[in-house]
Amino acid sequence: MTEAKQNTEQNPIETAADEAADVFENGEAETEAAVPDYEDLQARVEELEGMLKDEQLRGLANEQNLRRRHQEEILAAHKFAGQKFATEMLPVKDYLEMALLDQSGNFDALKMGVQMTLAELQKAFENTQIKEINPQPGDKLDPHQHQAMQAVESEQAPNTVVSVMKKGYTLSERVLRPAMVVVSKAEGEA
């Protein structure tokens, strides 16, 4: 196989240019048989343009397919994002339903069942990276994790936690709900 034929398989535009250069370099242009017809050249140009257009269309189609697949993957990720958490919550629901079905009237057994359910819930939270925000009295108010619900006069330094009304929670270090707290204020502050 000649070098020109090998190049045709690789890049048809460069091959045509190389063939034309070879014709003129070898002096074959002087003979009429070696000079290609205008129609032949025009047909070759149209063939190369067609091949280029085909490659462009294939590239565009490939790009569209990649975008479509990417969007489908994103939709699936959103759709099933809560699957792990939901799986972890199923035993908690089962335990609560069993507690409601208990007709024994035994308060201690009911309390033990609720404690077991809470333990299962805490396990589910750990497995899904949900952590409590539970500030202690005297901690400085952190506006990124705490929400001051009330300010009261206290012996503590201003803007410190006096008590927690509701715990907060984070999911992978993103705040789901800030801890709702009562904070101290300086005496005489409005």
Average pLDDT, the chain: 85
> Predicted confidence band at 145 (pLDDT cuts at 50, 70, 90)?
very high
- Model confidence pLDDT, tens digit, residues 26-84: 655 455 555 668 888 888 899 999 999 999 999 999 999 999 999 999 998 888 888 88
Does residue 20 sit in the same domain as residue 59? Answer: yes
Q: How many CA atoms lie within 13 A of 184 on its CB side?
A: 15
State how far the Cα of 97 lies from the Cα of 81, in Å rounded to an integer: 26
Q: Across the strands, what pairs with 147? A: 180
* pLDDT for position 84: 86
If one counts the domains in the chain, the total is: 3
Does residue 42 sit in the same domain as residue 21? Answer: yes
| CATH number of the domain enclosing 162 | 2.30.22.10
Rg, the chain, Cα only:
38
Task: Establish if 33 belongs to a structural domain.
Answer: yes
Q: Quote the domain boundaries for residue 52.
A: 3-75
Task: Establish if 35 belongs to a structural domain.
Answer: yes
Phi, psi of 173 (to 5 degrees): 70, 10
**Who wins on pLDDT, 17 or 168?**
168
* pLDDT for position 79: 84
Residue ending a domain, choose from 112, 127, 142: 127
Phi, psi of 180 (to 5 degrees): -90, 115
Task: Establish if 190 belongs to a structural domain.
Answer: no
- Model confidence pLDDT, tens digit, residues 113-123: 899 999 999 99
> Predicted confidence band at 8 (pLDDT cuts at 50, 70, 90)?
very low
> Predicted confidence band at 4 (pLDDT cuts at 50, 70, 90)?
very low
The closest alpha carbon to 171, from 118, 141, 127, belongs to 127
Q: Is the pLDDT of residue 148 over 70?
A: yes
Does residue 8 sit in the same domain as residue 70? Answer: yes
